Chain A
Amino acid sequence: MAKKGDYVRIRREIVPAGERDASVPADTSATPLVMWVKGYAQQDARIGEECSVITRVGRAEHGTLIEETPCYELNYGSFVPEILAIDDQLRKALFGGDR
């Protein structure tokens, strides 16, 4: 439950599926254009409920509440053995030995 004043993330469909720009391919045309933005909730709301927000620049937006106190969870991925193989190959190609 997000309280009024909490920082949240909302989602809203802007252009419905089937009404997309004529230039987009069929797979995209079958999906809506969706927008995500963050802001301060203007009323209490649960995940999945409508919520209006005031964004960082002070705009009023509305949409479905999808995340409370949103954050980034980017990381450096999983181990990719090919990267070490590239290292070994390059060092061998340049220096010859086992440096």
Chain B
Amino acid sequence: MMEKDRSVVAVNARKTEIIRKAMGVDYDKYESGSIAFDYEAMMNDTGYTLEDNIRIQRHFNVGNTPVFELHNLTALARKLAGPGKGARIFIKDEASNPAGSFKERRAATSVYHAKKMGYKGVVASTSGNYGAAVASQAAMQGLKCIIVQECYDSRGVGQPEIVEKARKCEALGAEVLQLTVGPELFYETLLMLEDTGYFNASLYSAFGVGGIETLGWELGHQFIENYGRHPDVVVAANAGGGNLTGTARGLIKAGCPAKVVAASVNLSGLHMASDNAFNRKSFTTAHTGFGVPYAVKPDHSDVPRSAARPLRYMDRYVTVSQGEVFYITEALATLEGMEKGPAGNTSLTAAFALAQEMPEDAIIVAQETEYTGAGKSIQPQLTFARKNGVELKFGDPADEVPGKDIIFPASPDLLKARDLDLNHLRRSIIHNEAKGFTPTEADIRFLAEETRTSEAFVRETLADM
């Protein structure tokens, strides 16, 4: 047999063929030949309904996580807010999933489907909690598992949060292939898929994002059952967009009218593929370095069409600083008695600020927590930052310069959620998707759906191009 060309160019040229074999999904059939593609058909074609996903997740001990009211954080928010302001703050304790995060919802159906289709194993490229989630589900469902991680800088220094995730993946039986910084992560993943014939458990598949719908659906039902009403606002951390997309779709399916707010850690100024910048950031996910580009260009992942399309569902997009998320992580420990991982508290940090804008009888929910441990808790993270020349200080977090300093609020009233201009992001995705095409009427409708705007907004944006 002739050895296949393993160069980056040659492997990337085989991408469509590799992905088709590794997923059994023919993405071409959703294409219109122009800008539009049939998103809902892609989401519905998995063969798994919301009810199927709930059944599969229950069987593999995923989901049905508790909702906790944070009385002390609520009381503190009310002290800082104006009279009559300060919504009740809740979290959904996703850390109680078997591998410690909501990501297991994303993994369960992919692994189930892989097994049903006869694949012997699964591959996922991720430096986040998704690795442990896939490893956990592969362990439970009896498949082999390879996790491909971007983990080290060129000196071989690993971000402690990612090294911890590698440890956890191995503890759950996976093989972990670790790489230095760079987008060639996807190239290596394609090679693994081709070499092993395993299933591509992509973060961005319809199986994955469909699996998160159960989170939104549970929220919708839990609040009615336990508190007799819907929440007013659900805050979801945003990176690749799947968390927000799946949660929002699940809320809609549960008939819950809550507004959906995206939250990311502000890492502006740090290039995500930079070797030098890699270890100068404390958050390896849920940050603007992923959140913004994936929102405006969702299809540059490891599948031809991403199921994660957050601008379709976002009512608002806010950022918080690294110092603020560390601060709220400590607040959760010292005021609420719960030690959780910092990245999973990104949405809670935003919720604490947003609650202060809302009336006292309103409800705001941060829809996740994540597990913590060595490497992942705030002390090793801050130790690592300091070792890498990042200054730690108290002051106004608005002044934080990612990579240079981490600023904890000098007083709790300085903690703020800062709005990103959603219309700017909407115009960007229209520009990106329409580039090189003469939009049809169907394209205009599609772009209005992509941006949750009107055909008039799309036409106006296109006219400005």
List residues of A whose CB falls within 8 A of some B CB: 14-15, 19-21, 23-25, 27-28, 30-38, 55-59, 72, 74-80, 82-83, 85-87, 89-91, 93-94
Contacts and interface: CB of A to CB of B under 8 A. Distances in A.
Contacts, number: 149
B276 interface: yes
B335 A21 contact: no
Contacts of B76: 90, 93-94
A15 B175 CA distance: 21
B163 A35 contact: no
Contact of B179 (A27, A33, A85): A33
A55 B175 contact: yes
A74 B154 contact: no
B408 interface: yes
Contact of A57 (B121, B380, B381, B394): B121
Contacts of B381: 77
Given A36-B178, A80-B379, A86 B275 contact: no
Nearest to A81: B392
B154 A31 contact: yes
23 contacts: A21-B8, A21-B187, A23-B183, A23-B273, A27-B275, A27-B276, A28-B181, A31-B154, A32-B180, A34-B152, A34-B156, A36-B178, A36-B179, A37-B175, A37-B178, A57-B121, A72-B166, A74-B374, A76-B377, A78-B379, A80-B386, A89-B412, A90-B412
Interface residues of B, number: 62
B196 A93 contact: no
B273 A24 contact: yes
B175 A35 contact: no
Nearest to B380: A77
A33 to B, nearest CB: 5
Interface of B: 8, 72, 75-76, 79, 121, 144-146, 151-152, 154, 156, 160, 163-164, 166-167, 170, 173-184, 187-188, 195-196, 271, 273-276, 326-327, 330-331, 334-335, 374-375, 377-384, 386, 392, 394, 408, 411-412
Which of A35, A38, A79, A82 has most chain B Cβ within 10 Å? A82
B4 to A, nearest CB: 15
A30 B335 CA distance: 47
B152 A36 contact: yes
A28 B274 contact: yes
Which of B72, B196, B331, B381 has most chain A Cβ within 10 Å? B331
A71 to B, nearest CB: 9
A19 B75 CA distance: 56
B330 A86 contact: yes
A86 B409 CA distance: 9
Contacts of A21: 8, 182-184, 187
Contacts of A15: 8, 184, 187
A69 to B, nearest CB: 14
B178 A74 contact: no
A55 B166 CA distance: 15
B335 A72 contact: no
Contacts of A38: 170, 175-176
B146 to A, nearest CB: 6
Given A27-B276, A72-B167, A76-B377, A87 B180 contact: no
B208 to A, nearest CB: 21
A52 to B, nearest CB: 15
